[in-house]
Amino acid sequence: MNALQKINIIGLSIPLIVYLIGFIIREDLLILALLSTMITGLIQLVIGLKLLENYSKHPLLQLYFVVVVLFFILWFTTYWDFLWVLPVALAIYMTYILHLINPKN
């Protein structure tokens, strides 16, 4: 497992750990778990940009950025009610891309 994959796993773990702590100990932390998904998104966006340096022609990576741009356009122009699934789907998709491309450092 390379460094980008490890960083991705850490980024995915942050909201899950905070959620579990909030579920077990304090319910106030559940909001923090939701907010920490933004950190995960930022981490994955940076990972995607790093991958774009070496794999700019990869169709899965190009699709990832199209969906990210679409997400932000929809977020600012429509209601948020149906968009909650896109960040989760993007996180899963970036993880899939990372394991598929598996860049060597």
Domain that holds residue 31: 3-101
Q: Count of domains in the chain?
A: 1
Q: 105: helix, coil or strand?
A: coil
Question: How is residue 68 written in tokens?
Answer: 């990210």
Nearest to 40 by CA among 14, 63, 72, 73: 14
> Helix, strand, coil: what percent of the chain each, to 5?
80, 0, 20
Q: Taking the model in full, what pTM does it have?
A: 0.81
Q: Mean pLDDT across the stretch 52-72?
A: 92
Residue 104 has pLDDT above 80, yes or no: no
Q: What is the pLDDT of residue 69?
A: 94
Closest CA to 19 of 1, 4, 8, 34: 34
Residue that wins the pLDDT comparison between 14 and 27: 14
Q: What is the pLDDT of residues 29-49, one digit of tens each?
A: 778 888 888 889 999 999 999
